Each structure stands twice: as C-alpha cells, then as structure tokens.
Amino acid sequence: MCETAGRPYALPVNYVYWNDKIYIHGMGSGKKNLVLAARPSVCFTVFEEFGTVADPVPAKCDTAYLSVVIFGKAVLVKDLEEKTQVLALFLEKFMPRFFKTPLSAQFVDKYRSSFDNNAVAVYAIEPEELTAKENPVDPEHMFQAVGKGDD
C-alpha cells in the first residue's frame, strides 16, 4: 500500500475527454497507481486563463478564465479495445497525424515499459459531480502590454 500520511495527493496529468469520461494514463506502476488502487475517489480540475482584465482601479483587475472541477472515481481500464482507443486519442491529441498507421490492440497488449516491465495503465474518470466557473473575455477591457520606449 502507498502511504501519503493522510495527506491529499495531487499531480498534473495529461488527459483526453471521450465518451463522457476523462481518461488519464501512465506507467503501470508507481505512486499514482498505488494511491488510485487504495483510494479511487478523485478530484480532477482543468483551468484555462485567457488573459488579464484591466481596470482603472487596481483592486478590480481580474483574469478571464474558465475552470472545471470534476469529482468521480478513477477506474483502471481493463478492456483492451477501450484502452487502445483511448491511447490512440492521446496520440492524436499530442501528435496529430504523426503516425501513418493506427495504434493496434496487439501493440498495446504487448508493450512494456523499459523502466519496470509493466503495461501502460489507463484510468477512466466518470464524473459524479461537476462544477464550472467562468469569467469570460471582454475584448474592450483586456490588458494589452505596451513595450517600454514606444513613444
């Protein structure tokens, strides 16, 4: 069992959204896998900042953003076809049109990490609760940096 001394465990992950689920992946061993096996309840967050909103009053300056918080359980994907489809989505997201042939289930099934000889782990997070917050872009009030010496 992995010990976190009763503390929360958070880490940044790459993800894809597909079939109403968030998918994450990584080596089939390590702290993340141990923590998720012991405590599969997770809180997943995504945040995108679009820029700074200017205001003549310093305390009223803000940022334009969109954030989402999802609570759910991370479940290890055991179905080889689902796992292969998800990993193909990761490849397309991060390396679009790079590979000439599609990812095969046979490759996914046989691939092992050179670090520990484990198969890649894919987890599905099905949202149980979702909240979102937005401060939309207001083009008229977005801060535009002006270079020094631009007289």
Residues 71-103 have pLDDT tens digits of: 999 999 999 999 999 999 999 999 999 999 999
Assign 3-class secondary structure to the chain: CCCCCCCCCCCCCCEEEECCEEEEEECCCCHHHHHHHHCCEEEEEEEEEEEEECCCCHHHCEEEEEEEEEEEEEEECCCHHHHHHHHHHHHHHHCCCCCCCCCCHHHHHHCCCCCCCCCCEEEEEEEEEEEEEEECCCHHHECCCCCCCCC
> Which domains can be identified in the chain, with CATH numbers?
15-136 (2.30.110.10)
Residue type at position 67: S
Mean pLDDT of the chain: 88
Higher pLDDT, 138 or 123: 123
pLDDT at site 1: 44
pLDDT over 60 at 23, yes or no: yes
pLDDT at site 107: 87
pLDDT at site 31: 87
Is the distance from CB of 90 to CB of 120 less than 8 angstroms? no
